[in-house]
């Protein structure tokens, strides 16, 4: 594939949006994906809504993209002298799809359901989301838990983060809803996976969305033109985690006044 960078307002063109609760890391650090540092446990779920089925090759491709996204995050963390690794992982639905009667297709509206993690964990046999938390604690050395839901078909991906005023049982285990392809049929690059994962740890979009203004996007383009929270590329190495995003996810504590301006409303 020819390398190309796609500048976009995600929700209009490729439809990457997120429902991250806050970009201020002082108010994040609440759910299962509280800090993007240390050892991260990734649970991958492959789901369908009976309209189509995953093939094994398609699933392997998505896992490879996830791996590329995570490797890039580790490399970016090194730039900020942060230790990060994705040493543990689990899967449900690889041998046989997790089939649901209905799977919502993200529309970038900000009104999407954000309880898919708990719904699918129950479908996979967990009696409680806290059972997963306990299992990871008892059986791994991982510090954080993130869930990646790969959904067959098209849709606007989004992140499902937790805040203290939300139901702990439904929302504490945080995850991303990622579709196989964008709404226009384009393949999903590793950069979009990394983008959504960053939302779980406190990152804000830097393009115009239902939560961000055009004015903020303009400033972000001037200050952080290669930020992964502003644009996406089929070559993830053209992108970076900008200084504001690094602060938002807790990679450094050197606050700048512009950070408060850029934070999602």
What's the pLDDT at 245?
97
Token pair of 192 as six digits: 């979009």
Packing angle between helix 129-139 and helix 116-123, nearest 10 degrees? 80
Mean pLDDT, rounded, of the chain:
87
185-224 per-position pLDDT tens digit? 999 999 999 999 999 999 999 998 877 888 999 999 999 9
- φ, ψ for residue 43 (rounded to 5)? -105, 120
Note whether residue 217 is domain-resident.
no
Query: Residue 28 — pLDDT band, cuts 50, 70, 90?
Result: low
Q: Would residue 256 count as lying in a domain? A: no
Determine the distance from the C-alpha atom of residue 87 to the mean position of all C-alpha atoms in its chain, rounded to a whole number.
18
Q: At residue 114, does pLDDT exceed 60?
A: yes
Domains identified in the chain, total number = 1
Question: Residue 101 pLDDT > 70, yes or no?
Answer: yes
Q: Which CATH number covers residue 66?
A: 3.40.390
Q: What was the pLDDT predicted at 104?
A: 84
Q: Is the pLDDT of residue 132 over 90?
A: yes
Does 164 score more than 90 pLDDT?
no
Within-domain flag for 55: yes
The predicted-structure confidence for 6-26, as pLDDT tens digits, reads as follows 333 333 333 333 333 333 344
Task: Tell me what pLDDT residue 226 has.
Answer: 97
Asked whether residue 257 carries a pLDDT value surpassing 90, the answer given is yes
Q: What is the mean pLDDT of residues 127-131?
A: 93
Instruction: Give the percent of the chain with pLDDT over 70.
Output: 86
Q: For 7, what's the count of Cα atoms within 13 Å in the CB-facing half-sphere?
A: 6
pLDDT for the residue numbered 112: 82
Residue 122 in this model has a pLDDT that exceeds 90 = yes
Task: Reply yes or no on whether the pLDDT at 242 is more than 50.
Answer: yes
Share of the chain above pLDDT 90, in %: 72
| Secondary structure of the chain in HEC code, one letter for each residue | CCCCEECCCCCCCCCCCCECCCCCCCCCCCCCCCCCCEEEEEEEEEEECCCCCCCHHHHHHHHHHHHHHHHHHHHHHHHCCCCEEEEEEEEECCCCCEECCCCCCCCCCCCCCCCHHHHHHHHCCCCCHHHHHHHHHHHCCCCEEEEEEEEEEECCCEEECCCCCCCHHHHCCCEEEEEEECCCCCECCHHHHHHHHHHHCCCCCCCCCCCCCHHHHHHHHHHCCCECCCCEECCHHHCECCHHHHHHCCCCCCCCHHHHHHCCC
Q: Is residue 263 part of a domain?
A: no
Neighbours of 129 (CB within 10 A): 22
Classify residue 254: in a domain, yes or no: no
pLDDT value, residue 111: 75
Inside any domain, residue 47: yes
- Name 190's Cβ contacts closer than 8 Å, sequence gap at least 6: 65, 66, 68, 69, 72, 236
Structural domain contains residue 4: no
Decide if 26 is inside a domain: yes
- What domain range is 46 assigned to? 13-203
Cα distance between residue 156 and residue 15, in whole Å: 5
The predicted structure's pLDDT at residue 143: 87
Q: What is the pLDDT of residue 50?
A: 79
pLDDT value of position 8: 36
Residue 80 has pLDDT above 90, yes or no: yes
């Amino acid at each position: 594939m020819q390398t190309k960078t796609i500048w976009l307002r995600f929700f209009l063109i490729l439809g990457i949006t997120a429902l991250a609760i806050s970009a201020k890391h002082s108010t994040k650090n609440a759910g299962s994906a509280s800090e993007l540092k240390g050892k991260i446990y990734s649970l991958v779920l492959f789901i369908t809504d009976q309209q189509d089925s995953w093939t094994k090759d398609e699933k392997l491709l998505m896992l490879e993209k996830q791996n590329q996204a995570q490797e890039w995050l580790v490399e970016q963390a090194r730039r900020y002298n942060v230790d990060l690794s994705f040493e543990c992982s689990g899967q449900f639905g690889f041998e046989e799809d997790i089939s649901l009667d209905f799977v919502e297709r993200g529309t970038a509206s900000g009104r999407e359901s954000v309880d898919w993690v708990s719904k699918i964990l129950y479908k996979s046999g967990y009696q409680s989301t806290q059972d997963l938390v306990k299992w990871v604690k008892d059986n791994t050395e991982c510090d954080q838990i993130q869930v990646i839901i790969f959904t067959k078909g098209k849709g606007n991906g989004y992140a499902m983060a937790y805040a203290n005023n939300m139901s702990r049982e439904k929302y504490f285990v945080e995850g991303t809803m990622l579709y196989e392809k964008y709404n226009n049929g384009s393949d999903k690059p590793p950069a979009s996976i990394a983008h959504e994962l960053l939302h779980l740890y406190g990152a804000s979009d830097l393009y115009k969305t239902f939560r961000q203004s055009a004015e903020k996007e303009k400033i972000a383009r001037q200050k952080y033109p290669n930020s992964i929270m502003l644009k996406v590329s089929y070559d993830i190495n053209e992108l970076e985690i900008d200084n504001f995003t690094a602060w938002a996810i807790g990679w450094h504590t050197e606050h700048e006044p512009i950070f408060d301006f850029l934070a999602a409303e």
